[in-house]
Amino acid sequence: MGSTRRRFVSSVVTLWIAVSGCSRDSGTAAGGAVAARARDGSEAHPLMVMLIPADGGTEDGTKKDFLPLFDAVTRAKGVHFDVRVGQSYAAVVEAMAGDQVDVGFFGAVSYLQAKKRAGAELLAVSVENGSSVYYAGVFVRRDSSLKTLADMKGKSLALGDPGSTSSFAYPLAMLIEAGVDPVKDLSKVVLAGSHVNSLTACAEGHVDAAAASFVSLEKAVDEKKLAPDALRPLARSDAIPNPPLAMASRLPADLKATLRDGFAHVQDTPGVTPDMIRGYGGKKVDRYDTAYPEAEFMKAAAKLEKVDAIRPEILKKAGER
């Protein structure tokens, strides 16, 4: 190979590496493990935070809910954060697996995926009135004739993001427990992409029922995206652990300890008001529990095994016209 040819190939390879690095990083850092080591929580090198798009993924939605909380921890511990919202639940899991994210906000299912894919460690779970749980639901229009989940045979259902615990996994598990095969018995499955889209699809008559969390229904009504009397619950899930904050296992031990202490005592920090301490759906919470038992998430995982078994068929059914 001539020198000109070698220089050309070398240039192409160099360009491919540079472009690949930028692509993997989605423009948020210089790439992978090298960038991860540089992020130490200082003002110059803040920790990268990515949030699942729990209510649509808008910057002025999910990010607005959580930014005050991270600002409060910065005030308390001097750890700085760059807070962003992922385009999907899966994107946040993959970003942590690719060392592009240091702290993530997940649902129960996506946290377990991040734990498996990236060794994510539980950081904190919100507490409100002494409780750290929430509920998924299957909702129908106020005038619907459906009375129980068993009545869903032959009916259509809108689901949220496939990575969502309360707008996908738990509602499907509820149907299975009620004797309804989501693949064979539902007439149609629609992947609406988010809780609010799922609820809206039902309210507008595009589907017979919608899967979402009760928190998301409440928020949609509060924000006037949904009329208060548009929908009613057909069924409510068992208690689900609140969506957790998790951190990358590769973070230094002293930084992990600082984060845990910061979130555990954020409510006691001078200058931090109750309005700053918020959780899933933007709800005010009392505090964050950094000693929440991991076993509670494992219980959820066991409950959802049957859903994992039919997930590919559900996605296929959703793609049918």
Cα distances from 147 to residues 25, 40, 151, 209, 245, in angstroms, run 48, 54, 7, 12, 36
- pLDDT for 168 equals 96
Q: Find, among 223, 221, 198, 196, the residue nearest to 209 by Cα.
A: 198
Stretch among 53-67, 82-96, 124-138, 254-268 having the lowest mean pLDDT: 53-67
| Interval 226-248: pLDDT, tens | 999 999 999 999 999 999 999 99
Identify the residue whose tokens are 């979130």: 263
Q: For the chain, what percent of residues have pLDDT higher than 90?
A: 73
Q: Which one is predicted more confidently, 74 or 17?
A: 74
pLDDT at site 53? 83
pLDDT in tens, 140-177: 999 999 999 999 999 999 999 998 999 999 999 999 99
Query: Can you list the alpha helix ranges (DSSP code H) found in the chain?
Result: 3-25, 32-38, 64-77, 89-97, 108-118, 170-177, 195-203, 214-222, 253-264, 295-303, 305-318
pLDDT band at 5 (very low <50, low <70, confident <90, very high): very low
How far is Cα 140 from Cα 232, in angstroms, rounded to an integer? 6
Separation in Å, CA 66 to CA 1, 60, 98, 314: 56, 10, 23, 32
Mean pLDDT, all residues of the chain: 87
Question: What is the pLDDT at residue 15?
Answer: 30
Quick one: average pLDDT of 248-273? 95
Q: What is the pLDDT of residue 282?
A: 82
Beta carbons of 141 and 203 less than 8 angstroms apart:
yes
- For residue 233, report the phi and psi dihedrals to the nearest 5 degrees: -75, 130
Instruction: With H, G, I as helix, E, B as strand and everything else as coil, classify residue 320.
Output: coil
What pLDDT shows up at residue 33? 64
Domains of the chain: 32-130+242-290 (3.40.190.10), 133-239+302-318 (3.40.190.10)
pLDDT in tens, 30-76: 456 667 778 999 999 999 999 988 664 445 678 888 998 999 999 99
pLDDT for residue 4 is more than 80:
no
* 302 band by pLDDT with thresholds 50, 70 and 90: confident
Higher pLDDT, 2 or 210: 210
The more confidently predicted of residues 223 and 211 is: 211
What is the DSSP pairing of strand 121-127 with strand 133-134? unpaired
Poorest-confidence range of 23-32, 62-71, 91-100, 205-214? Answer: 23-32
- Residues 6 or more apart in contact with residue 137 via CB below 8 angstroms: 166, 171, 211, 212, 213, 214, 217, 233, 234, 235, 236, 237
* Cα(318)–Cα(199) distance, integer angstroms: 17
Write down the pLDDT at residue 271: 86
